[in-house]
A and B are shown apart, each in its own frame.
Chain A
Amino acid sequence: MSEKGSVQFEGVSKRFGEVVALKPLDLDIQPGTLVTLLGPSGCGKTTTLRLIAGLESASEGRILIGGADVTHLSATYRRVSMVFQSYALFPHMTVLENVAYGLTVKRVPKAEAHARAEEGLAMVGLVGFGGRLPSELSGGQQQRVAVARAVVLEPEVLLLDEPLSNLDAKLRRRVREEIRQIQQRLGLTAIYVTHDQEEAMAVSDRIIVMKNAEIAQEGTPEDLYERPASAFIADFIGDANLIDVDVAASGAGTCVDLLGRRIELPLTTTIRGAGKLVLRPHQMTISNKPAAYSLPAEVTYAAYLGSQIQYSLETKAGLLFASVAPRAKPFTVGEHVHVGFDPADLRVVPA
Chain B
Amino acid sequence: MKRTAGLWLLIGLIGYALLPWYLVGDAGFWRFGWLADPLLLGPSALVSLFQGRWWLAAPLVGIAAAAMTLGLCTKQLAVARGLVGSGALGLLLMLAQGLLILGQGPRFGFPPGASQSGMGAGALVVAAALLFVLTTGISGLGKGRGDAFITGLVGAIVALVGLFVFYPMAFILVRAFELRDGGGYGFGEFLPRLFSPEIWSGACVVGAGWCGPAVNSVVLALATAAGTTLQGLAFALIVTRTEFRAKKLLRVLSILPIITPPFVIGLALILLFGRAGTITVGLHELFGIEQTRWLYGFWGVWLSQMLSFTPIAFLVLIGVVEGVSPSMEEASQTLDADRWQTFRYVTWPLMRPGLANAFLLAFIESLADFGNPLVLGGNFDVLSTEIYFSIVGTVADPAQAAILSVTLLGLMLAVFLIQRQWVGKKNYATVTGKADSGRNAALNPVLRWTCYGVAIPWAMFTAMIYALIIFGSFVKLWGYDHSFTFEHYVRAFKIVVRNGVHFVGSAWDSYFTTLWIAGISAPLTAAVGLATAYLLVRQKFALKSAFEFSTMLSFAIPGTVIGVAYVMAFNFPPVELTGTAIILVIVFVFRNMPVGVRGGIAAMSQLDKSLDEASIMLGANSFTTLRRVIMPLMGPAILAALTYSFVRAITSVSAVIFLVSAQYNMATAFIVGRVENGEYGISIAYASVLIVTMLACILLMQLMIGRRRLRRSDRVEAL
Interface residues of A (CB under 8 A from B): 53-55, 57, 72-77, 80-82, 84-92, 101-102, 105-106, 134-135, 137, 142, 149-150, 153, 159
Contact = CB atoms under 8 A, between A and B. Distances in A.
22 contacts: A53-B613, A54-B145, A55-B616, A57-B146, A72-B146, A74-B147, A75-B145, A76-B622, A82-B614, A86-B608, A86-B719, A87-B719, A90-B614, A90-B629, A91-B717, A91-B719, A102-B618, A105-B620, A105-B628, A137-B719, A142-B719, A153-B619
A76 B613 contact: no
Nearest to A149: B618
B146 A73 contact: yes
Contact of A89 (B632, B712, B719): B719
Given A82-B614, A91-B719, 5 more contacts: A74-B146, A82-B613, A84-B718, A101-B620, A135-B719
A342 to B, nearest CB: 48
A80 B617 contact: yes
B718 A102 contact: no
B157 interface: no
Nearest to A145: B719
Given A89-B718, A91-B712, A92-B632, A53 B617 contact: yes
Contact of B620 (A72, A76, A81, A92): A76
Contacts, number: 96
Given A55-B613, A82-B613, A101 B719 contact: no
B633 A91 contact: yes
Contact of A86 (B610, B618, B619, B624): B610
B616 A88 contact: no
Nearest to B145: A74
A81 B620 CA distance: 12
A82 B618 CA distance: 8
Contacts of B610: 84-86, 88
Interface in B683-719: 712, 716-719
Nearest to B624: A105
A105 B619 contact: yes
Contact of A88 (B145, B147, B611, B712): B611
Interface of B: 76, 142, 145-147, 608, 610-611, 613-622, 624, 628-629, 632-633, 712, 716-719
A88 B619 contact: no
B718 A88 contact: yes
Contact of B718 (A75, A87, A101): A87
Nearest to A54: B145
Contacts of A55: 145, 613, 616-617
Contacts of B622: 76
Nearest to A139: B719
B621 A84 contact: no
B719 A75 contact: no
Contacts of B142: 57, 72
A299 B76 CA distance: 69
Contacts of A85: 610
A153 B712 CA distance: 29
Contacts of A75: 145, 613, 616-617
Contacts of A74: 145-147, 616, 621
B713 to A, nearest CB: 9
A159 B616 CA distance: 14
A150 B613 CA distance: 12
A90 B147 CA distance: 22
Contacts of A88: 608, 610-611, 613-614, 718
